[in-house]
Chains A and B, each alone.
Chain A
Amino acid sequence: MSQIYEIRLKPIGSFYFGGEESFSSSILESVINKNDESVKKYYKKRQGYFAKSEMFPQQTQLLGMIRKEILRLNNKLLYYKRYTSVPKDWKDKATKIVGSKWYSNKEEKMGTIALLSPLYLHHATYGLCVPAPMDYELMLETTGVAYINGIPKKAVAFKKCNGKYFDAKDYLYSKYHSLTGEYVDMNDIFKPQIRTHTQKLHYKEGNEEQLFKVQRYTLDEDYHFVFYLTLNNDSYLLDDTKTAVTLGGEESHFIMSVNKTDAIPDIDAYYHKLRSKETRVVLLSDAYISSCDAKNTVFNDCKVVLSQKRVLRTLQSMRKDKQFHFKKSTKTILLAKGTVFYPKNEDALGSICAVLNKSNYQAIGYNQYITLQGETNAN
Chain B
Amino acid sequence: MPQTNTYTILSIGPIYETMKVADNTRAVWTVSFMFSYLMRETIRHLRTCSVGDDTFLVPHVNNAFQAYLDAPKPRIGLFHDRLILKEDYASLVNDAFNKSVEGLTQIIVNTFKESKKYTLIKVDAEESEVKAFFQNYFQSYVAQVCIDSGNPLLELSKYIDAIEHEPRLAPHEEKEFLFLFLRLTNLGLLQQEAFDMEAYDTTQERCFKSLPEISAWELVKDQADTWKKEHLCLKIADVDNLKERIKNPEDEAQEMIDILRKNPDFKPYHTYVAIVHGDGDAFGKHLEEIEDNEVQIKQFSDDIFNFMSQARDSIRKYGGYPVVGSGEDLLFFAPVIYGSQNIFTQIGKIDKIFDTIFKNPKLSMSYGINISYYKFPLQESIEKSEEALWEYAKKSKWANLNDLGTEQKAKNAIRINIQKHSGQSHALTLPKGTTLYCQCIKLMLQELSHKDNLHLPHALHHSLERVSKLIDTIPKENIEPLFENMFNEKVHQTKHKKALVSLQKILYLLKDTSHDEPIHQQHPHTQKPSEFIFSILSIIKLLRGDA
**B-contacting residues of A (Cβ < 8 Å)?**
27-28, 30-31, 34-36, 38-39, 41-46, 49-50, 134, 138, 143-150, 152, 155-158, 165-168, 170, 172, 196, 289-292, 294-295, 299, 304-309, 330-331, 333, 335
Contacts and interface: CB of A to CB of B under 8 A. Distances in A.
Contacts of A196: 423
Contacts of A134: 165
B377 interface: yes
B166 A149 contact: yes
Interface string B221-257: 0000000000000000000000100111111000000
B173 interface: yes
Nearest to A305: B166
Nearest to B157: A167
21 contacts: A34-B122, A35-B121, A35-B122, A36-B120, A39-B120, A46-B23, A46-B179, A138-B162, A144-B144, A144-B145, A146-B143, A146-B159, A149-B139, A149-B141, A156-B159, A168-B161, A172-B165, A292-B171, A304-B166, A305-B166, A331-B173
B94 A156 contact: no
**Among B23, B142, B162, B183: residue with most chain A CB under 10 A:** B162
A308 B275 CA distance: 29
Contacts of A165: 158, 161
A165 B159 CA distance: 9
B269 to A, nearest CB: 22
A291 B136 CA distance: 10
State the majority secondary structure of interface residues on A: mixed
Contact of A331 (B174, B179, B246): B174
Contacts of B410: none
B27 to A, nearest CB: 11
Given A41-B248, A304-B162, A309-B167, A145 B90 contact: yes
Contacts of A158: 158, 162
A85 B319 CA distance: 61
Nearest to A134: B165
B125 interface: yes
Interface string B161-203: 1111111111101111001100100000000000000000000
A246 to B, nearest CB: 29
A306 B167 CA distance: 8
B91 to A, nearest CB: 7
A172 B250 CA distance: 37
A31 B124 contact: yes
Contacts of B175: 27
A150 B136 CA distance: 10
Interface in B65-95: 88, 90-91, 93-94
B192 to A, nearest CB: 22
B167 A308 contact: yes
Contacts of A138: 162
A49 B140 contact: no
B253 to A, nearest CB: 10
Given A146-B141, A147-B94, A150-B140, A307 B166 contact: yes
B146 interface: yes
A31 B130 CA distance: 13
Contacts of A146: 90, 141-144, 159, 163
Interface in B17-50: 23
A307 B167 contact: yes
Given A156-B159, A166-B161, A30 B145 contact: no
**Among B122, B145, B165, B171: residue with most chain A CB under 10 A:** B165
B98 interface: yes
B2 to A, nearest CB: 16
A147 to B, nearest CB: 4
B363 interface: no
B380 interface: yes
State the majority secondary structure of interface residues on B: mixed
A28 B162 contact: no
Contacts of B271: none
Contacts of A144: 6, 143-146, 159
A30 B176 CA distance: 9
Nearest to B132: A291
A348 B88 CA distance: 28
Given A42-B246, A45-B251, A147-B90, 18 more contacts: A28-B176, A31-B121, A45-B248, A144-B145, A146-B142, A147-B140, A147-B142, A148-B142, A148-B166, A157-B158, A157-B159, A168-B164, A196-B423, A291-B169, A291-B170, A304-B166, A308-B165, A309-B169
B100 interface: no
A42 B162 contact: no
A20 B180 CA distance: 18
Contacts of A290: 169
A309 B17 CA distance: 11
Contact of B179 (A27, A41, A333): A27
B429 interface: no
Closest CB pairs A-B (n = 8): A144-B145, A165-B158, A155-B143, A147-B94, A291-B169, A147-B142, A157-B158, A45-B250
A172 B93 CA distance: 27
Contacts of A292: 171
A28 B180 contact: yes
A168 B157 CA distance: 8
B107 interface: no
B346 interface: no
B119 interface: yes
A150 B176 contact: no
B16 to A, nearest CB: 11
B90 A295 contact: no
A143 B158 contact: no
A238 B60 CA distance: 72
Contacts of A143: 145-146, 159
B324 to A, nearest CB: 16
B173 A147 contact: no
Interface in B249-295: 249-251
B248 A156 contact: no
Contacts of A168: 157, 161, 164
A155 B94 CA distance: 14
Contacts of B380: 50
B123 interface: yes
A292 B175 CA distance: 18
A172 B143 CA distance: 20
A34 B423 CA distance: 39
A34 B124 contact: yes
B161 A167 contact: yes
